[in-house]
Structure 1
Amino acid sequence: MRVTTIDRFAPAPGTVVQWAVDASASTGVASAIPPSFNQSHHLASAAADPAGESTWLAASFDVDGPVDLKAIERAFLALIARHGTLHSGFVRDGGRVVRHLHDPAALRVIVTPPRTLTTVSAVRDALRGGLRHACTPFGGPGCHLATIDRADRSTILCGFDHAHVDAYSMAIVVDDLARLYGGYRAEPGAFDPRVLPPAASFVDYCAEEAGDDRDFSRHPGMDRWVEFFARHDRRPPEFPLDLGLAPGARARQAVDVRTLLGPRDTATFAASCAESGSSVYAGILSAMAHAVHDLGGGSEMPVLFPMHTRRSRRWENAMGWFTTNAPVTITVETDLPATIARAGPAVREAVALGEIPIPRVLETIGGLRAGRTDIFMVSYVDYRRLPGAHAHDLLDAHHISNVTSADDAQFWISRTESGLALRTRYPDTAVARATMDAFLGGVGRHAAAETLRQSTANRAT
């Protein structure tokens, strides 16, 4: 799975057809299930800036030959019916946001006439326009489908407003949609989508989250949360190097996508981390902390990191926004191996803090103080472990995000069979560009140096 952004996505030209969901024939049923914590934050941000760029996630994959348009439309509708969050939406009712549930059988699709486009930029612009129009936080289901038809090999893309999906969901949509499309194409009118494994509904997860009345005040991890935010004056940590933005300012988002380590070097780096009881994620966080330290950012790098909450098998095939956050501080030691050895236990302890719902943390600390809108965070996803991973290379699968605006730096580390890659989002200022060039170069050098050290040690033994 290649992790990128729409401005870097470069599908070959072809004939583009796009579909949006039409809920006009469905009245929708108002639900007492409130938005999840993540959804509430997302919807509040969208309501505060209704003219802003929507935040959506999309996945794409390739299929042999031209696209069977009837088969992919049926597959798209079956995907929406399969996942509860995809046939739901949010409506503003005065000062409230109400979830509306739609009967998937009442949903229709609006299809655009085919357009044969001859340049990569024209295809990209068409896709971005379709995603912007369809993947909206309010109204009907924010889902979008597009195909780029070619004689030899074609591309299928499916996007969603962020309220309904997370990064893990992008692997699920590729797996589900590819299998549904293959079934409808092979058995027109006879394929039964129920042959896919059962998928629970994220709406049910939201109901459980809303009904969770456990008392976490005496949870052993709550003191750690309180201590973490007390050290930062009740503000989330910020990227510790200068990004050239005044307080309260935002800038157009800049993007960097690069390979950190190839497959062999990634395996060597993983072995080095494992020797000290640490993970690859802890290793890359350590390389980041050293890069920050090299540039005068101090010897401690506090950061929040997202992690999925699919803690039972019930949710493993469910699309939705199943994430929470945990805090960790990476302390720079005398060398990178020593930092990695200390970071491993710190990350493991932080993971346990993710058991405490964020709303309970905020209640305990008295809420967050105003700071940057974005949160300095470092995500890690091992796509090799997600549904359908065995076919990602064959399908040329992509996870694609929108490009909006930014006021802090955010990082997405992805591990695939091709190695370790890093996508970075940061404000597009001259200072930030120079900072990121130096920082990202340093991360790569530290990771490569540790790989070389481990390789040399292996040869010596």
Structure 2
Amino acid sequence: MRLTNVSQMQVQPGRLHSCVVTATPEDTERLPLSFDQRRHVSFGSRPGSWMAVSFRLPHPTGLEQIAEAWEHVLGRHGTLRSVFTCSEGSGDQGHPEVTGEKGAQLRLNRVEPTESQWETLARDAGPAEIRATLRELFDVACDPFAQPSHRLCVVEPSPVEAPPAEQGAEPASGRQRQAPVEQGPQIIIGSDHSHVDAWSLLVLIRDLTSCLEDLDAGRPLGARLPEAEPFSAHTRHMAAKSAPPEEITTRWREILDAGGGAMPNFPLNLGDLSTPAQEVVEVRDVFDAEELAFLEGHAAEHGVRLIAVAVSVMTRLARQLADQPLRTVFPVHSREDPRWFDSVGWFITNSVLENDDDSYAASYRTVKEAIRLGSYPLGPIMEPYGGMPQEPGTFAMSWLDHRKLPVNVAEDLHPQHVSAVIRTDGVMIWFVINDSGMHLRCRYPDTRQARRAMRTWLAGLVYGLRAPLEAG
């Protein structure tokens, strides 16, 4: 799966449709909020809080079939049948799912979506128009407080004529003009981040395509799919965990204190970040499949995994360019048990990674420590700070190896992980690995200082990652 954003994603020309469902919250069943959901949604309505996935079906498929399959997928995943509301505090202040901020109450309620209806957003549109329309739609339909905060769209492709027959060849039908080539539609599913993570996007593709295959074969929808536990059950499971041991809270405190009482910041100058700036997004191809196999073998020879090589390179960069240890936010998933593997939800929480020894062994120990630091509920850890302390300039790295996931999708579906276009005041680097190799995606603020700093950092990062190849 390629990681991109809505302004750069690959889109086929055609007719753009939106599958509309509505969901009105009922004050009946209140669901628990995870620490990360509460933090994300408490920032309020804003454009760009969503993420999306795009893929192409292998053959023509009608809108009604897609809608029927999508309604079944919605029924499988509890988080897609829940909505957030926020109201001024008026009693019930002791409820555990209340933010407590300025008297506002943040709630998550179970809902039952209505039957879907299609609306056409663009006819015979080119890729640029479709991308702009998707961005505008998802910024509204996938708002944290939208009801529901997800939307499925379909691009029915414009007819594509087959290539002309070779000169002198007899047309099969006696006509000079060839029949249009039949193409499958492109499906784009957007959702507010509070309900999905990168793993969830793969689950959505698998579930929807499986249900469409069931329709074609006359099978009951979802007959071949495993049971999907609701994300709310995972939230309750995490809340029931015992308090983190003292060594965990102490290590968190050490890393936060080293960053001035906040989550780690990027070590180089990013310029004026008093207000978020328009984002710059860069994608760098690092390894093809053969080179990736060589680097993984190189890591294995040193008793580590490839991620340790990446951490080693960045540790060296931080010391060479800023004379400080590598400190970065490091998202980790909490799908510790197979019961969560087939669920949709935000099973990601933030950890922190700190390293000042660029040896592979030390870098690998640092990764293991970061995973352990992120394996405990963050609420008790962050309580002394009044929540997760974050300042402009935050630095985060994400490691996405799609080959290691128990849920994956075929590359011939042309899957794309699509991010929103946002304003930002921090740096995030995604390392994305699949069967075709590794690429990096980096997002940073569009300031003169940040552009210069990131050119230096990314060039050094790619060079360092490829150095073992050059050494043979």
**TM-score normalised over the length of structure 2:** 0.87
**Structure-2 change in CA distance of 1:444 and 1:222 (3 Å):** same
Whether 1:407 and 2:428 are equivalent positions in the alignment is no
Which amino acid letter does the alignment assign opposite residue 375 of structure 1? T
For 1:55 and 1:21, the matched residues in 2 are separated by 20
TM alignment of 1:169-184, pairs within 5 A: 169-184=200-215
Whether 1:286 and 2:317 are equivalent positions in the alignment is no
Equivalent pairs counted in the alignment come to 433
Q: What is the SS of the residue equivalent to 1:28?
A: coil
Query: Do the aligned partners of 1:171 and 1:386 also contact (CA within 8 Å) in 2?
Result: no
**Structure-2 change in CA distance of 1:369 and 1:325 (3 Å):** closer
- Give the structure with higher Rg (CA): 2
For 2:362 and 2:206, the matched residues in 1 are separated by 37
**Structure-2 change in CA distance of 1:252 and 1:81 (3 Å):** same
TM alignment of 1:41-440, pairs within 5 A: 41-45=39-43, 47=44, 50=45, 52-94=46-88, 95-104=104-113, 107-113=114-120, 115-150=122-157, 151-187=182-218, 191-212=220-241, 214-216=242-244, 218-246=245-273, 248-294=274-320, 296-333=321-358, 339-363=359-383, 369=389, 371-372=391-392, 375-389=394-408, 391-440=409-458
For 2:137 and 2:389, the matched residues in 1 are separated by 37
Supply the RMSD in Å over aligned alpha carbons: 2.0
Mark the runs of 5 or more structure 1 residues left unpaired by the alignment.
334-338, 457-461
For 2:371 and 2:79, the matched residues in 1 are separated by 26
**Who is 1:8 aligned against?**
8
Q: What is the SS of the residue equivalent to 2:410?
A: helix
Mark the runs of 5 or more structure 2 residues left unpaired by the alignment.
89-103, 158-181
Q: What is the SS of the residue equivalent to 1:31?
A: coil
Q: Which deviates further from its counterpart, 265-274 or 285-294?
A: 285-294
**Structure-2 change in CA distance of 1:393 and 1:141 (3 Å):** same
**Structure-2 change in CA distance of 1:343 and 1:75 (3 Å):** same
**TM-score normalised over the length of structure 1:** 0.89
**Structure-2 change in CA distance of 1:40 and 1:186 (3 Å):** same
**Structure-2 change in CA distance of 1:364 and 1:91 (3 Å):** closer
**Who is 1:459 aligned against?**
none
Which amino acid letter does the alignment assign opposite residue 157 of structure 1? I
**Structure-2 change in CA distance of 1:141 and 1:366 (3 Å):** closer
**Who is 2:20 aligned against?**
20
For 1:123 and 1:429, the matched residues in 2 are separated by 29
For 2:146 and 2:26, the matched residues in 1 are separated by 10
For 1:28 and 1:180, the matched residues in 2 are separated by 29
Query: Do the aligned partners of 1:166 and 1:323 also contact (CA within 8 Å) in 2?
Result: yes
Following TM superposition, by how much is the alpha carbon of 1:257 offset from its aligned partner in structure 2, in angstroms? 1.4
For 1:403 and 1:442, the matched residues in 2 are separated by 26
For 1:11 and 1:401, the matched residues in 2 are separated by 14
Off by >4 Å, runs of 4+ in structure 1: 364-370
Query: Do the aligned partners of 2:432 and 2:438 also contact (CA within 8 Å) in 1?
Result: yes
Following TM superposition, by how much is the alpha carbon of 1:292 offset from its aligned partner in structure 2, in angstroms? 3.7
